Structure 1
C-alpha cells in the first residue's frame, strides 16, 4: 500500500469523522433537552451514550490524524497502530456506558417515573434521523480501518438506542405503561455489549500479533512451496499493524539454480506479487537462503 494512498485514506477518515462529530453533537443537545422535558431515562441513556460517542469519535479523529504521520527511524512502520488504541478506548467506553445504563434502568424499574411519551417519541425520531445520517457517512470507511469501525459501531449503537427509545415511547403513548422507558434503556445496554466485545476481541488480536482471522497461513505456505525454485519455507510469521494491514515474513529455502542463474530478484518479485494478489498482504519480507544455510539455523525455526 503506497504512502500517498495511506494519507488519502486517513484524510478521508478525518473528514468523515468531523461530519459525524457535528451530527452527534447536535443530536446530543437535542436529546438532553428532550430528556429534561419528557423525563425519559431512555433518552438520558441515549444522550449518555452520545457523550461516550463524542469522546470515542474525538479519540478516533486524533488516532486517524496521528496514524497519517509518516514512518520514522523510531516508528519504522509509521503510526498506524494508534488506530488500534483508538478502537480500544472506544470499546471500553461502550462497555462502561452499557453497565451504567443497565444499573440506572434496573434501579428505576421499581419506581414510578413520570414520562412524557409524546416528547420522548418526537426527540427519539429526530435522533434516529441524525444517527442514520452518521452511519451513511461512516459506512465507506468502516471496512478499511479498525479505528473507523469502532466509530461506526458507536453510531450504530446510537441508532439501535434510538429505535429502542421509539418503541418504548410508542408503548407509553398508546398504553400509559411508563416502565417501558426503563425496559428500553435495558435493551439499549444489552445491545451495546456484544458489539463492544467484538471490537475488543479484534483489538486484542492485533495487539497480540495473532494472524488476522481472514488469513489462512497454511494456504500461504502452500502457495510459496508451489513457486518454481522454492524447496522449503520456515519461520513464517503473519500479523497486522492495524486492521486491514497484514504483514508477512518468512525464510524461503531455494534450489541452487536460483542463485546460480541470478533469479533471486525475480523470485522475490513473484513471491511478493503472489501474497499481494491472493492474500492482500500489505507488506511482505522474504529471506532467500540455500539449503545448507537453513540446515544450521536451529530447532526453533519452522
Structure 2
C-alpha cells in the first residue's frame, strides 16, 4: 500500500526517549517577518477603507459599503493575527504546557466566523436592494473599485509573503483575498451601471461576494475545528500509520495511537508499542521514529515501548491467568482508545 507523505510544513519538535518526550523550536525570525508583512497590509487596508466609506455613502452603493465593511473585518482579522502571533510566541509555563500556541487557531476560528456573519448581513442588504434598487453613481463606484483592486492586490501580495501554512495567517489572508474578489465584482457592476444604467448590477455583485465569503468562512471553520478537536491532520491516516508501525520488525502490537496538531505546522504523535520478548525496545523505538520522520514528516513523537513478557496477562473469568493467541495484552490500558494494530494480519 503506498504511503502518503504528510505536508512538509507539518513538522514539530524533536523526538525523545523511551516512554516520554519533549521538544520545541523557535521561529523568532519568521515571526518578525510575518508581523512586518501583516503590518504593511494593515496600513494599506485601513487607509483605503476610510476613503471607501465616505465615497460609498456619497455614491449610495451597497457594493462599495459592503466592500468597506469587509475591509473593516480585513483590518480586524490582521490585528487579531498579529496578537495571536505574539501570544503563540510566549514560552510554555505553568499549566500551559504548550504555551499559547493555539491562540492562532482561535484567531482562525474568529476569522471564519466573522466571514459567515458578515456574509449573512451583506446577503440580506443585497437582496433588499435587488428588490428595490436605489440610484447608484456607477462612475464613482467603478473608479473606487479599480483603486480597491490595486490596494488589495498589494495587501494580498504582502500577506502572501508571510507563513500561510499557519491557519491564523491564512484566515487573515482569506479576508483580504475575498475583498479583492469583491472589488473585481464591484468594478464590473459599476461598469454595467455606467454603460446600461442597470442599478441592480450593484446588488448582484454584492451577492457574488457573499457566496465567496461564506465559502471561505466554512473552510476556515472546518480546518481550525479539526485542530481544536484534535483530529488527525488532513492527509494523515492514523490507520495507515498504525499498520505501517505494526509491520516493523519485532513489533507485535500498536495501540492507543493518537495523531493531532498542537497548532498549524506542529504535528504530534503518541502510541503504545508492544515488542516481542526477545526484541530490542530502544532499537525498535528509534526505527519507528525514523519511519514516522521519513514517511510522514512527523518528528514530535511519544512512543511507549514495552516487551510482551513484562506485562501481566489478563485474568480470565474462571480465575486462571491466560489469554488466547489473538487476544491483545492490554491490562495496562484499561481505557484504551482506538483500534489495535497487530503485525499478524494488520487487523484493526
TM-score by length of 1: 0.92
Per-residue CA distance 1:70-92 (angstroms, 9 max, x = gap): 12232112221110100111111
Q: 1:214 aligns with which of 225, 235, 246?
A: 235
Alignment of 1:297 with 2:314, yes or no, is no
Q: Out of 2-11 and 207-216, give the one that drifted further.
A: 2-11
| Alpha-carbon contact 2:279-2:307 (below 8 Å) kept | no
Contact 1:72 1:78 in 2 (8 A): yes
Q: How many residues align?
A: 298
Q: Residue 109 of structure 1 aligns with which residue?
A: 130
The superposition leaves residues 146-197 of structure 1 with CA deviations (integer Å, 9 ceiling, x where unpaired) of 1011011111110111111011011011101112111111111121101101
**Equivalent position to 1:241, from 262, 267, 277:** 262
Larger helix percent: 1
Give distance in 1, aligned partners of 2:275 and 2:112.
45
Structure 1 position 43, deviation (Å) = 0.5
Q: Determine the C-alpha separation between the residues in 2 that align with 1:184 and 1:251.
A: 55
- Which residue of structure 1 lines up, in the alignment, with residue 119 of structure 2? 98
Q: What is the Cα deviation at residue 34 of structure 1?
A: 2.5
Match of 1:288 among 305, 309, 323: 305
| 1:271 paired to 2:288 | yes
Partner SS, residue 253 of structure 2: strand
Q: 1:37 maps to what in 2? A: 58
Q: Are 1:122 and 2:139 matched, yes or no? A: no
Give deviations 1:237-283, integer Å, cap 9, x for gaps.
Answer: 11111222221100011123334xxxx43433332232122212242
Higher mean C-alpha deviation, range 292-301 or range 194-203: 292-301
Structure 1 residues 42 and 295: CA distance shift in structure 2, 3 A: closer
State whether residues 52 and 64 of structure 2, in contact with CA within 8 Å, keep that contact through their aligned partners in structure 1: yes
In structure 1, C-alpha distance between the alignment counterparts of 2:191 and 2:27, rounded to whole Å:
46
TM normalised by structure 2 equals 0.80
What is the distance in 2 between the residues matched to 1:58 and 1:194?
22
- Computed over aligned residues only, the root mean square deviation of the Cα atoms, in angstroms, reads 1.8
CA 1:211 to 1:23, structure 2 compared with 1: closer, same or farther past 3 Å?
same
The Cα shift of 1:142 comes to: 5.2
> Comparing 135-144 with 224-233, which one deviates more in the overlay?
135-144
- Answering whether residue 174 of structure 2 is matched by residue 157 of structure 1, we say no
Aligned to 1:88: 109
After superposition, the C-alpha distances for 1:116-167 in whole angstroms (9 at most, x for unaligned) are: 1111111111111111122222224454211011011111110111111011
Question: Structure 1: any 5+ residue segments left out of the alignment?
Answer: none
SS at match of 2:279: helix
When Rg is computed on C-alpha atoms for both structures, the one with the higher figure is 2
CA gap 1:10/1:99 in 2 versus in 1, 3 angstroms: same
Q: CA deviation at 1:4?
A: 4.6
CA distance in 2, matches of 1:27, 1:271: 54
